[in-house]
Structure 1
């Protein structure tokens, strides 16, 4: 049996503002924008280009059993992978997203510029609520090389 990661819930304070950020500035594809039930809650599902995993922004949904609701802006460690970090940075900057320079990690911490290893080039940004994202350059799959 396969277990696939398909959806991540991103806690936001304003669905319309967050939808505009992810769709217009990050280039995510809007899949769904719907109410749960008449007059009760709403969810917005968006998918990064080329990904099978989507994010969901929601408001008004009852808390899941055993799953306390996260505060808007409290999510960290979300990571996207791209095959060209410079092109990804240029696309985000071109759409008005505030991103860090390309960085790499070394023995004394983070430093500006690309890393020597194929996995060691990153940039970071936050959504309007402060949820933190990393973008990592990852080598293209063998089928694409």
Structure 2
């Protein structure tokens, strides 16, 4: 699946939005689709941080192991997962803007095998719509939590 991007303005400072978006243990309380998170590494959020996230999407519950692969504190981070014959990359960016923060999340999935690539080509439009819907919901949830303070 080609890169999908969704953006939203959050009426809260970058530091607060970053705090909400990178609080892995708090994710089930913020993101309506996330039912549980198990942090697998110690220490602050940064490159190498790993967690298992269980979320509901398309009426199904799935657990993925995620790993942070890049961080520019209060500006961006990238997390990756490898599952079901594909590599998934999510990138969050945080830009100070008048009255708050502009947040953009990008998501891409790359098949790692021929059979997976063929299946991905057939299902791409449905998957793309579902991913956009999920990303918009996540951003709305992050915005609501950050704006509550």
TM-score (norm 1): 0.30
Which structure is richer in relative contact order (CA contacts within 8 A, separation 6 or more)? 2
Which protein is richer in helix relative to its size?
A: 2
Rg (Cα) greater in structure:
1
TM-score (norm 2): 0.30
